[in-house]
Amino acid sequence: MAGEATVSIGSEDYGWIQSSRGARPIVIAAPHGGYDLNTEQIARLVARRLEASCLVALRFRSSTHPINVNRPTEGVDLPAAQEVVTPRATAVYEAYRAVEQDLASPSLRLYVEVHGNHRPRSAGRLEVATQGFGLAEAALLKSRYAELGPELPPVDVEPVDPIYFTASAAKRYGILKGMPRALHIEVPAGLREDPAAWDLAAEAIATLVEVAAKQSGVD
């Protein structure tokens, strides 16, 4: 299955949701495509490497309508408690969630989101918020990643490491709420802004996901 849906609210088209179904029970998603620069390109590369499904939302998040897509709220760079639930954000979230549910059927084992940031202290590192992974599993994920790709960018994994991007809003009332197994991966600007770095970013994420997939019972 491959498709594209335009989400309209009133007479205004807000953006597009694109999807493709892979052979494995894994979804690689980029909910902030066009805003988290080039995360949609990297997500597609990762999905192809892993034969996973891919879910991309484009152009929903902007300075004029900061729709969060993976949760029914608006507001950028705000604490979770300060984000605002709005009708248009809810409509976009429900459309996004419906496509994710279709890709997840019948037995999703691992959901992965690719995000981007410009935080100076996160430069050069991937930050991974986790859902459904205990301390021992997160520690193994980090150590296996280091063994498989010593040349890859370093990674901080929750709850082993303190991380800045914890995906708290998506966990509290968004798509990660109730998700059995999920990774929320923040990619620094240096791995996204130059197309020459996309393959390295995709390789790093694919390595992380492959280890997490094995921990989740995916062949």
Its pTM stands at 0.94
| 78-120 confidence digits (pLDDT tens) | 888 889 999 999 999 999 999 999 999 888 999 999 999 999 9
Whether the CA torsion 33, 37, 39, 45 is positive or negative: it is positive
Strand partners, 76: none
Q: What pLDDT is attached to residue 51?
A: 97
Cα 10 from chain centroid?
A: 28
Backbone angles phi, psi at 66, to 5 degrees: -75, 65
State yes or no: pLDDT of 174 exceeds 70: yes
Domain ranges of the chain: 2-215
Report how far apart, in Å, the C-alpha atoms of 104 and of each of 24, 61, 98, 155 are: 10, 24, 10, 27
The DSSP-derived string for 142-179 is HHHHHHH-TTSPPEEETTTS--S---HHHHHHSTTTT-
Tokens of 83: 């984000």
CA distances from 54 to 47, 50, 74, 157, 216 (A): 6, 10, 24, 23, 18
Q: What confidence tens digit (pLDDT) does each residue in 23-61 have?
A: 999 999 999 999 999 999 999 999 999 999 999 999 898
Angstrom distances, CA of residue 134 to CA of 157, 171, 212: 11, 15, 12
C-alpha dihedral sign at 96, 179, 103, 42: positive
pLDDT > 90 in the chain, percent: 82
What is the pLDDT of the chain when averaged over all its residues? 92
Helices (H), the chain: 39-50, 87-104, 135-148, 168-173, 198-215
Strands 84-85 and 73-74: antiparallel
pLDDT at 156 over 60: yes
| CATH topology (fold) of 2-215 | Aminopeptidase (3.40.630)
